[in-house]
Structure 1
Amino acid sequence: METYQFSQGKNLRCGYTTGSCATAAAKAAALMLLTGQRIDSVQIDTPKGVVLNLEPEDVEMASDYVSCAIRKDSGDDPDDTNGILVYAKVQRAVAPGVRIEGGVGVGKVTKPGLACAVGGPAINPTPKRMMISEVSAAMEQIGYHKGLNVTISIPEGVEIAKKTFNPRLGIVGGLSVLGTSGIVEPMSESALIETMRVEMRAQQARGNKHLLVFFGNYGEDFTRDVLGMDIENAVTCSNFVGELLDYAVFCGFETLLLVGHSGKLVKLAQGVMNTHSKYADCRTELFALEAMFHGASVEVGKEIYNCLTTDEVTKVLQREGLFAAVMTKVTEKIDFYMQHRVHGKIKTGALMFSNVYGILGKTKDADELVKLHLRIGEGE
């Protein structure tokens, strides 16, 4: 792949996700099955808008199925999946439409609370939509109007998954097929931190004294679509909240509003300032403790502690009538640790949201800062 992201004075090459690999393999296998002809490359569109032309490998053509693989390329962000083969086996079906299944090395979901159904393959919604869309396009191109069954396999995923958090999340036997954009952007920590600082310096140079910040795509979408705020001058901090706050003090900003998904923002309530899961996965402990402080039984505390996602935590807290009290304490702690990091030199605010439940909580100055940014967006 020859798409690059300029960062820290150098061009870093992007890669493509396991979801893109699975999509390309599925489309290539479908085309070869329906035409009976081998192809040397296949083209897919990604949600990021980047068009990929990928080469099928290990092609196996039989009378009733075709199997092929796409090799994962993580670009200049190599990880444990870089270079592995992602396979798709496509077979004709009588029922119309495209059915996606998981094979060897694709994890099976065993617990509720994830984006995938319990008992089904750990194939996230975006790559699943990509596969259905591209395979359907291939069927339409050929004029085939029945159905196809697609089985995605990642043979090396069985072993690689043991190095991940998948078993703790209730995903057994393999990897998750991931990707929200289809593209892997280089994730060098120093490059990402420097990129964030460049964005902050740009805001400083424009005379902006009030920072609006989110972690990534979820926060960007929520801030724009739900809060109705202008995000043109916002900054993305990725996982680096500590570096964000330090540099905000250094640059002399007056206020900072952080809009974050509960799964990341709750970590700040325990003083964790790098929210990447490799540093800390402490999303449920504080919720469980505060729930018990507010009268929850030990059994309910254990239930909260064992939740797979913060959305599941919210569900339990609401059921027990503890949500408001617990969230008040959690946001107080977030406010404490943010203010401790900036030594009180900047007014900070944080707004916690969920894609399922909407706004979950705010620190004491968050409403004031939200109104400030709404006024800024209106040109006042």
Structure 2
Amino acid sequence: MLNLPRSGYTLPVFACAAAIAALRWLNQPQWYTSVEVDLLDSSGIVNVPIEQISGLNETTALAITRSDPGDNLDLTRNTPVWAMVSRLPSSSAERIVLQGGEGIGRLEYGAGEAAIYAYAKRLILENLTRWLLPDDRIQVTLILPEGRALAKRTSNAAFGVVEGLSLLGTSGIAQPLSAPGQLEEFRSLLREKAQQFDALVFCIGENGLDLAPKLGLDAQRLVKTANWLGPLLVEAGFQGVRSLLLFGYHGKLMKLAGGIFHTHHHVADGRQEILTAHGVKVGLPTVQAQALLAQETAEAGLNFLRQLDDVTGQSWSLPVYESIVADIDRRSQQYIYTHSEKSVQVGTILFDRQRNIVVTSKIAAELLESGLRM
């Protein structure tokens, strides 16, 4: 019998639990070993352990819990999550003021607000509102003491989140995306989608899942793949899917142009090499190709090409990326046929760290016109 990996909870759930505990302490000072958190969207109510709780003064309390992401390769495992709740004057306009403290990343672009995304905000606000008295007004400050250090080991900066971790996620359940046993659950979800639609959208992670509906893609067709693109591409072939749109961050999906179909960085990388090879393919001069290869990240490589566009007055970034997505489409279709003997049309859309579209392949443009939009 297959032992599926254990699920855990996302960071927003632990931040919410700590905030609930701190607020309840203000209402009635006592020790809470755990609190209930409603995960919303019919996901149920869960008990989250509280590690420490204390009143700091008559109007402020602090509670601490620890992240448990389940059986996953997650660097936030056991990291402390703090929430400080302070009473505000009853005349305050907002019932709950939510802010990010130390270790909560901020969005580099825009107003530099805390990187607390939609689900996290809704989760915290809805759960805390249930514990407020009619005249209560509170300020909630979320803190990740280890967040700044941990962020250096993530790709957060690639998405414009600096100085800490983001509270990101579309649900409270942390699926163990890196654990091999998770692949079977992903296959099962894909089979369900394939029974409803013959055209689907593959998104590697949360950024793609969050961005796709905002760009008009049908949310019902979205399939999260994590790094299991190869097996899930083949499964799509076996399930009779007619067409697939690959939608994701360019620094991840470009690996497919090099024939890398498991995109976890522990398995293989090669992004700079792939980017440079396509630069050479479209005629990038040797000196610029060498400079491109020396860039530390795929995002830096994209920015280098864009700067080259401005300096030379020529277009290099778009031809390079058009070449990359053409190869992603071709290699993905070949991969599916080789392993399933099924023909599936594959198109690709890539976005950058600001979540702006970099390029849409020709096949992807055709798929968008054929009904993938809402």
TM-score of the alignment, normalized to the shorter chain, above 0.5: yes
Report how far residue 369 of structure 1 moved: 4.8
Q: Is the 8 A contact 1:169 1:308 kept in 2?
A: no
Which residue matches 1:66? 61
Q: Is the 8 A contact 1:112 1:308 kept in 2?
A: no
* 1:316-351 residue CA offsets vs partner (Å, 9 max, x unmatched): 479745453233212122133224424575243223
- Residue 15 to residue 196, structure 1, CA distance change in 2 (3 Å): closer
Which residue matches 2:81? 86
Which residue matches 1:266? 254
- Residue 268 to residue 299, structure 1, CA distance change in 2 (3 Å): closer
Q: Is the 8 A contact 1:223 1:259 kept in 2?
A: no
Of 134, 139, 142, the match for 1:148: 139
Which residue matches 1:276? 264
- Residue 101 to residue 282, structure 1, CA distance change in 2 (3 Å): farther
Say which is worse superposed, 274-283 or 62-71, in terms of deviation: 274-283
Query: Aligned partners of 1:167 and 1:223: how far apart in 2?
Result: 20
Secondary structure in structure 1 of the residue aligned to 2:133: helix
One-letter amino acid of the counterpart of residue 148, structure 1? Q
* 1:339-372 residue CA offsets vs partner (Å, 9 max, x unmatched): 442457524322315484358311x444555556
* 1:161-220 residue CA offsets vs partner (Å, 9 max, x unmatched): 56555688897776544433222123354333223444566688x698x55341356656
Secondary structure in structure 2 of the residue aligned to 1:70: strand
Query: Aligned partners of 2:116 and 2:179: how far apart in 1?
Result: 25
Q: Is the 8 A contact 1:107 1:171 kept in 2?
A: no
- Residue 337 to residue 244, structure 1, CA distance change in 2 (3 Å): same
One-letter amino acid of the counterpart of residue 74, structure 1? P
* 1:42-72 residue CA offsets vs partner (Å, 9 max, x unmatched): 3433355433333433112132521111232
Of 312, 318, 321, the match for 1:324: 318
Which residue matches 2:7? 14
Matched, 1:137 2:154: no
Query: Aligned partners of 1:236 and 1:184: how far apart in 2?
Result: 13
Query: Aligned partners of 1:126 and 1:308: how far apart in 2?
Result: 27
Say which is worse superposed, 12-21 or 352-361, in terms of deviation: 352-361
Q: Is the 8 A contact 1:215 1:239 kept in 2?
A: no
Of 33, 36, 39, the match for 1:46: 39
- Residue 311 to residue 182, structure 1, CA distance change in 2 (3 Å): farther
Secondary structure in structure 1 of the residue aligned to 2:57: coil
* 1:52-111 residue CA offsets vs partner (Å, 9 max, x unmatched): 3334331121325211112322234474433443112233456754141323xx2656x9
Structure 2: tracts of 5 or more residues without a match? none
- Residue 127 to residue 31, structure 1, CA distance change in 2 (3 Å): farther
Which residue matches 2:345? 348
Report how far residue 241 of structure 1 moved: 1.9
Report how far residue 268 of structure 1 moved: 1.4
Which residue matches 2:117? 125
One-letter amino acid of the counterpart of residue 81, structure 2? V
Query: Aligned partners of 2:296 and 2:276: how far apart in 1?
Result: 9
Q: Is the 8 A contact 1:212 1:257 kept in 2?
A: yes
One-letter amino acid of the counterpart of residue 83, structure 2? A
Report how far residue 266 of structure 1 moved: 2.4
- Residue 159 to residue 311, structure 1, CA distance change in 2 (3 Å): closer
Query: Aligned partners of 1:287 and 1:25: how far apart in 2?
Result: 44
Q: Is the 8 A contact 1:254 1:347 kept in 2?
A: yes
Say which is worse superposed, 179-188 or 134-143, in terms of deviation: 134-143
Q: Is the 8 A contact 2:23 2:131 kept in 1?
A: yes
Which residue matches 2:176? 186
**CA RMSD of superposed structures (Å):** 4.8
Q: Percent identity?
A: 24
Q: TM-score normalized by structure 2?
A: 0.70
Q: Is the 8 A contact 2:22 2:54 kept in 1?
A: no
Secondary structure in structure 1 of the residue aligned to 2:263: coil
Secondary structure in structure 1 of the residue aligned to 2:37: strand
Query: Aligned partners of 1:352 and 1:112: how far apart in 2?
Result: 23
